[in-house]
Every structure is written in C-alpha cells, then in structure tokens.
Amino acid sequence: MVLIKSFSVGNGDMFYINHDSDNFSIIDCCLPEENRNSILDEIYEKSRDKNICRFISTHPDNDHIFGLEDLDEKINILNFYCVQNEATKEDETSDFEKYCDLRDSEEKSFYIKEGCSRKWMNKNGGGRKHSGINILWPKTHSSHFQDELENVKEGKSPNNISPIIKYGLNNGISAIWMGDLENSFMENIESYLDLSKIDILFAPHHGRKTGRIPSELLNDMDPEIIIVGEAPSEDLEYYDNYNTITQNSSGDILFECLTNETHIYVSNENYSVDFLENESKGKFDDLNYIGTLNHNH
C-alpha cells in the first residue's frame, strides 16, 4: 500500500508519498504556524522507519519552502532534490537560506531534469526497490528554461523553473505535480513534453487561472481527478468537464493506493463528490472516506 497526502496549508503546497518500499518522499514545504507541529510530527512518524527519505523542491518561493528550516531540524534532510539553479532573493528569509544551503551542498543535493535516473528514485539497487518517481521536465537545453534560470538569478519569480514530477508503478495510481508553472510558459514548452494518461493531477500554481494547463497537455494526460489547490476562490480555475477535488473545501486529502484502486479520504467531514465509487470504507488516520477511484489502465 502507498499513501499520498496533500496537506491543507492555505496558500502553499506540501505533500508526501509513503512508498510501499524503504522510501519516503516529501514534495515542497509549507508549514503554517497553527499546524506546524502536527505536520512535522506526522512527517517524522511516517518517515522514521525508512532508510531513504528525499525532499523534492519544485522552486524556492516562500509558499513552497516556508518552514524548511524547521523541517530540516526535525528530520535532517540528507537527500535534497531540485533543478540546478542560482536563484536569489532581494529579501532572504532563513528558509530561503536553508534552501540555498541544501541546494548547493555537494553531499545532499541531487539536480533533477527530464529523464534523470538515481538509485531508489527510479532504479532498484542493493535489495531495495525504487520509488517510481520520474522527472518529465525540464529539458535543460531548452531556451525557454534557460531564460527562466537567468530570471531567477536576477531575483525574479522562480515559478517557471518548476519541474514536472510523475509518480507511478505498475497496476497502481499515477500522479503528476507541476509546481507553479504558469500558463504562458506551459504553452511555450508544449512541443517539448511527452505526457500520457494519468490518474491524479495536482493543478499547478495552486489551481490558479494563471497556471491553467493548456488543453493539449490536458488531453494528453486525461486525468481522472484534478486537485485544485487553495488559492483564493476568485483566482481558481475549476477545470470544467473534469472531475475535481477542491482543497479549499476538502481540507487535507489522503490517497490510500492499492492495486487497481485508490480509496480517498479528506479532513472535512461534510465534503463529498459524486464521481467516485462507494466501497463503504471508514475513517483512515482520522480522515473521512469520500469514495474509491478504480484505475485499470
């Protein structure tokens, strides 16, 4: 069984994948003061028995690294994955300083790009199974990506250095994260991307209209469910004609991933959707069952 969790953290992103192996992956960090300790405790409890724990940073905006210093103190981040960059900030927070320390560490950093491979990320080794994580973007030679690297070096928005991260194993759920990629940038790189059918798509830029995924890419991925994030409701793209879970309303979301089916739970006991199968599951980790997604492709 694999558990994928999307934390409800307001205007920010934080996820983990508790793999059915000796792996644990965290994607981004946003730790609001009101539930910082509870999230840190959960991450620690879920990951402490795993020998491989990786942190994947999509980009160093504050709402994706907020609390990174505390997270590092709690779990001691030894495997820090990010795109290679020289991002700067006019106003450097302690969390951004921690990001730079980890990014620039020869011992802890691993620079991700399209098609990269690494033992236990997507390669077996030493009797340990890999985690099913693959990187679909960036193609580092792309002039569009190179322009964004220059922009972040000058202290401009790092949204468009975000990678595209895919998780998936045979007969299990498939999911994609896209950081805060913006609509105009995705339109520029459409021809570089080779995307295919997935189950869960975490909408970029917290589900904002500014991060709306171009129609051609949506058609390629044909997601069963799109998770729309926690940006202000007036800024959200609700992806008509697709099944969605809106985290503004659902709260925390947990995916209990089994062979060919995934049970989905949320923290808001009054939240429901009408597109999932009802297998009458109870609570899981004190979250409320809203239905099951069958995925046989």
3-state secondary structure at position 125? strand
**SS3 assignment, position 61:** coil
Residue 166 structure tokens: 């895919």
**Which among 189, 231, 179 has a CA at the least distance from the CA of 209?**
231
Distance CA 140, CA 32 (A): 33
pTM comes to: 0.97
Rounded Cα distance between 266 and 16, Å, is: 15
**Rounded distance, CA 277 to CA 214, Å?**
29
The span from the CA of 43 to the CA of 23, in Å, is 13
pLDDT exceeds cutoff 80 at 296: no
Q: What is the mean pLDDT of residues 32-37?
A: 96
Q: What is the DSSP letter of 235?
A: G
pLDDT value of position 95: 98
Cα–Cα distance list, 86 to 60, 213, 224, 237, 288 (Å): 11, 27, 36, 31, 42
How is the chain split into domains, by residue range?
Answer: 2-294
pLDDT recorded at residue 169: 87
pLDDT tens across 172-225, in order?
Answer: 899 999 999 999 999 999 999 999 999 999 999 999 999 999 999 999 999 999
What helix, strand, coil percent values describe the chain, rounded to 5? 25, 25, 45
Residue 295: pLDDT band by 50, 70, 90 thresholds?
confident
Q: Six-digit token pair at 208? A: 């904002």
The pLDDT of residue 164 is above 80 = yes
pLDDT at residue 243 is higher than 70? yes
pLDDT tens digit sequence for 60-95: 999 999 999 999 999 999 999 999 999 999 999 999
The tokens describing 106, both together, are 């020869």
Query: Which helix or strand (DSSP H or E) is residue 261 part of?
Result: strand 261-266
> Cα–Cα distance between 225 and 4 in angstroms, integer?
14
Q: 297 pLDDT band (50/70/90 cuts)?
A: low
Q: How many helices (H) and strands (E) does the chain have?
A: 8, 17
- Choices 2.30.42, 1.20.58, 2.30.30, 3.60.15: CATH for 2-294: 3.60.15
